[in-house]
Structure 1
Amino acid sequence: MSKTRLWRAVTMALALTATTTPVMAGNSGDYLAARQARLSSDFDAAVYYYIRALGADPRNPQLLEGSALSQLSAGDLPRAVAVSERMEDAGIESQISQAILAAHDFTEGDFQAVLDRVAADKGVGPLVDGLMVAWAQLGAGDMSKALAAFDDVAETKGMRGFALYHKALALAMVGDFEGSEAIYSGDDERVQMTRRGAMARIEVLSQLDRNDDALAMLDRLFGTDLDPGLTQMREDLGAGKTLPFTHVTKVTDGVAEIFFSVAAALRGEATDDYTLIYSRVAEALRNDHVDAILLSAELLEDMGQPDLATRAYRRVPQSSPAFHVAELGRADALRKAGRDDAALEVLDNLAVTYSDLPIVHTTRGDVLRGMDRYVEAIQAYDRSLSLYASDDPGQWFVLYVRGISHERLNHWPEAETDFRDALALNPGHPRVLNYLGYSLVEKQQNLDEALDMIERAAAARPDSGYILDSLGWALYRLGRYDESVGHMERAAELMPVDPVVTDHLGDVYWAVGRLREAQFQWNRALSFDPEDKDATRIRRKLKVGLDAVLAEEGSEPLKVAQDGTNGG
């Protein structure tokens, strides 16, 4: 099923109910703080302020719903349940609270309550409700009604693959692996085949003593570049072991799969805070659903909440095959929170326990490079490259970032070799073309080739401020000032507060005789917190002009511009 179809199916689900219930004047400050915190995705703060506001106005529907939503988004289902129960007792209708209470009913094993809730039109939404009914019937012990309910959902336009996937999971859960595989292998509309779906089918095939078929499917779908979880699965299959069926072992696992599947499908189609609702419910229903935990953490990172993301990543146990993924994510979240040393400590430990994974060493090198520790970064990249086959195209990125580290250390021959090797593996990549071309221009080497590289990069990424800055700067360095202006102005539009781009624009304006505009841009560049050495040079340009600064530095003077002036 396509994301678009799924999005249409759930657009009505979990819609926040509008309420005109006024907030008491005495606690309006707490309400406004809570609302602002929720809108900015600071869910911990939102929880705090909603609790304060509810203390003064405990039955206000707006405050209750905001509190329940914030508790759920922060990952605290029990407190969200308590608030939702207060809403239900007060007769306040809310799809947010209904989703929370339905999840709670499943965790409590109260399957009849779920069936009653959906029958009373107090469910989550059409797609989710139909599948919840099927799983609730299974939980209540009526397999016939459960299968019929899955089939009912399958009749909904665009939902067949999704429903059949869940029906196959349900059959496998009760040990009917033949029935499950019949669905997977049928000529019907293709069953939803995500990574999790493929792994579930591989487990089903193994349960049917068809390890050879399971191996063939694993190799066909995932190739040879396997993560630790898939590697272990392949080794066990090759050794003749029967894989246990782990994807759904109880009803709540199946319901968790509903919410996770919806969240995964909505990723990129809906807002992050909306998608987070589904992934959080999936987590609450199955606390070992690592994929749901990782999705929640990634969403929180994208929402600018690195501390909440870090907390989520830490929930993945070390025993999980995805532990290294969680730790890589946690390191990234720590970096975004400005805690580079803590991020490096995570990666140092990971480099010991997962020493054979190139991505671990590459990521560690990236952190060291971001800390200007280029020698150590190169050592990390060396280790990463040693784990690749010599002709593996996937190593182009490691060569590229190692080249950057060499360039920063003024190891130009080594840097140029890395950049050109990266291009040999990934011809035409804009980032590599741009960096190599820009570096050659700065060193006044192979200028025609350098300009060609940057022009190719700009053609591939016409909306990249960095690349357009490189193109404008290359033309400036070649004395083609008039041609440079338009590219540099466009770069400044795309990166309006970048000190380097703004400084470059000032130089270009000076070169074509637009002196007041040049001084204006240099002053702007100073306001954007440039590096100390750049700030010193900008101040000197403002005092004596660019021509004098170039003369003081022993650089070549500006060439005469096409309009006959030299900016003097």
Structure 2
Amino acid sequence: MHEPRRWPAALVLSVLVALAGPAAAADEPDYADVNAYILQAEMALQRDDYLMAVVEYRKAAELSDNPDVARQAAATGLVYGFDEEALRAAKRWVELDGDSREARLFLAQLSYRTGDTRAAKRHFARLVNEKDGPPGEQLVKLLPYLSEDGDPADAVAIMRTLAKAHGDSSLAHYAVATLALRSGDVDHAIERVQRAIELDPEHLKSKLLYSRALLARGDVDEAIDYTARIIGDDFDPDPDARMELAILYMMAGRADDALSQVNQILLEQSGRTDAVRLMAIINFHEGRLDAAWDDFNDILMSGQFRMDALFYLGRISDQRDEIDRAIRFYSGVRRGSNAIAAQRRAAVLLVEENDNLKAAVQLLDDFADDSPSNAVAATQTRAMVLALAREYDEALKYYDMAVRFRPDDESTILSRAELLVRMDRVDEALASYADAVRRWPKSALSLNAYGYTLADRTDRYREAEKLIRKAIKYDPDSPAIIDSLGWVLFKLGNFEEALAQLERAYAKLPDHEVAAHVVETLVALGRRDEALQRLEAAEEMTSDSELLEDVRQRLFTDAP
């Protein structure tokens, strides 16, 4: 689906004139109000207020009898990720143009994304039943719509209902298996894909899905053997099977075997860019950066997998400390699964390495304009970058906006609270953390953030310890939580036990903050010489750490 782009002002005015038409009669919609809502929506987009824009478009759709207005409202809501608003617009679209398959597909997908599985089943079933051709093929075509931004378990339930009447269709079982594997129900995925293979032993995708399911179950050797037999039993093996085997080898840590399969594919089909891409990724993860660099440049020149090539070339440049080149490559990643990570890293490098906040903000603005589906993530990243640059008030404004856009996003809420701590608005931060713990009582992230802040910024140490110990039950191997436990034990005066936990954390994460905690604890235990050595070692690793500088100023004022 194409992303709706912001309409230029002249186009907005022309659309308003076209929609207005002749003066409305008493029983007709008031097109002046429709036009006003559309104009408000466009003005909101110019202010980056995506939620208001979507709401205003939806209001226009509900008032207008033009299905194009409802289509624009539904598409805008969907692409910006405001599914409830998009659903209301899609319902209006279907009211106005019930014969539109596109409208009913929007309605089905949005019903799924908003958790209304009953309605989603009904709408998807109609779409399948009215289309000519084998039902199994229709179900497979629905997979992309049930694989985006919804509950994976709901997707399985919907597909199982749709496939129920087609028990003799291999593709129907394959479709259920695909979604079951995505949801983590490996056993059901294996059961379904085995049935798919029984019904159609020649269907390669079912066989490859079975090997992936075996891998997900932990049967790595069995998955590799099964895929290898597919290749060995075929006089002219499908290159896709070799690709799958290469991926399995890579995931099993057998890089040389993976490359052997890729090289065989390229001998048989030298123009397969997807094989070159896989070879490049393997080389990158194996640390063969020169080879990966050459491979990704070849991919870039081919015009295929361009976003992947730019992303990895950025990562290679980043690892080589070629900052400007890394920024240039990362900045070009505007689509695909790596877009957000690439733009975020480019913005951070612009601020941290080039001291250029203005360029970072402009980069994120351009990214949001060019890729509306990532616009809210760009807002979240802008808040983070502003905080990094110590523009705290401006950062808080964007965090407030991001929370309004995504009120159920735990990480954004926690990031906003962390900013409040940095602004010394500790009471507000603690209130936010407490609310997060109430909303996500089993979240190690929220429990640890709240507990650590209590330990670090208040004297409520017992309460902090209780929260942190609860967090560590949910994520026992997290070095951040182990560090928090060590720090609260330090605050409680249990220095020996604190040091043991802090050393555990530092072994997993040799971070300057953990190092500072270790140094303070060693000083408390009277081991000043050792503490100074640890401080100096940490300073060599992170020479610009303000936290380590603070420890030195407080505890080692006489040290050289």
- The TM tier, using the shorter chain, reads 0.3 to 0.5
TM-score using structure 2 length: 0.45
TM-score (normalizing by structure 1): 0.45
Decide which structure has the larger Cα Rg and report it: 1
Compare relative contact order (CA 8 Å, sep 6+) and give the higher one, 1 or 2: 1
